Structure 1
Amino acid sequence: MPTETDPPLERDLVAGLEKGLKVIEAFDQERSRLSIAEVAESTGLTRAAARRYLITLTHLGYMRHENKLFSLTPAVLRLGQSYLHSARLPRIAQPLLYRLAYSLGEAASVGVLDHDQLVCVAAVSAGQLVSATLQPGTRVPAWCTANGRMLLASLPQAQIEAFLARAHPEAITTHTIVNRERLALEIARARAQGYALVDQELELGLRTIAVPVKNFRGDVVAAMNVSVHAGRLPIEQMVERCLPAMIKIQVELGALL
């Protein structure tokens, strides 16, 4: 009898569903409208197979077709909404994030790792529009965000080393850390001190501090951050001003998960 950690048998997988989801994932900010040939190239499907999946997704309302190009429709958001409405973490975190954000007068969010990306699952702005990335469903690189770096720090060392080996950090801003050795030091620092502090590495003017979110067993299941505009709070004051309130919410959230 296979265990939960064993990979599934090939006969138990639905290949059509897997390929259909790959077709949806082929579309992103840089590739919002694609031809059949482009989808085939991106997914590894034949042009005939890509055409069938695109026609099926269009029939189901997930795609639109215009001038030989396909694009996603808002119906795709139902897939993400299903997670946000059914998962315990966003539902439990949202009211506590509200308290945290309004107690500090800043933005706060909770995120999880999805492969090498940080996905925001809950957020409160407290009237401060700090960044468009602090919205449920947004994806950003894990290596240049406080939540992502905190979650990387919670991984076993072998997984951290594997991540660093395959990562290709890019200079998103002039502050972005792209050197793998320095990234390793920052991840180790986050693990040692229990929080991660990132200064304008994802966006100029965005400073963020993050702590891990653990369940009642002590497993890290997410990370929680507070984000501020650089013009309102110097980096030297981030820990003193934000960390005590974050630790209080961290403890409350952990008791509920």
Structure 2
Amino acid sequence: MARRRVADQTLVFLMLTYIVYMSALVICGFGLWFGVFRGPDSFALTVVPALFGLTVIVVGLLCSAIPTDLQRRLDGYAQRSGRVGRIAQRLANGPAAVSAGIRGAWVHVRQGDPALLGSIAYWAFNIMVLWAAFHAFGGAPPGAVLVLGYFVGMLGNLLPLPGGIGGVDGGMIGAFAAYGVDIGTATVAVLVYRAFAFWLPTIPGAIAYFQLRHTVQRWRDERRQQRAAELAAATA
């Protein structure tokens, strides 16, 4: 596949995945604050995460107004401005790609693509694993608290740690403790959740990765053989 197509489709995937994340922050955060859901109504624990999610959504919508060919439109400026213009042109590729990703995601939403249910299912099944872990060690917190604590804790992925190892675990435990969940129960539940949802899939994932490397190498060998055969046929 062409690199640009891979990049565009990956961005569409990320947009469709994380819009569920941000929407959950908004719904559960404001829901707890206004008393729609059962749980704490502290401003810092409810409204702040909700405003964060809402800000990300609004910024994303604004980015969709950026032309997807912004880099090409800066050709003239890059030629006139020398090195500064060329740097600006390269930097423009980022927001243009984000805009293309958001527009591509919106096409799927507008068409009612049933595959969109996968975005919800991905997060829902993860949270259900965490819910089961809590029940195994004393009981889960209210639904909105479970969802909000999960997503607030997932912000630990922003820490510069490989795979979010340690950051997500600590973030979730700290988030649930802040929401009034017993820290001992939260610690063991989060660690069990991470074992099932993160560590166990790593094993078949690593095996599949090395198998894929062999497969890709076989594809390359087949393409080289095909080109050699075509060249031999053309010169015969």
Q: Which has the larger radius of gyration?
A: 2
Q: What's the TM-score once normalised by structure 2's chain length?
A: 0.29
Higher relative contact order (Cα pairs below 8 Å, separated by 6+ residues): 2
Which protein is richer in helix relative to its size? 2
Q: What's the TM-score once normalised by structure 1's chain length?
A: 0.27
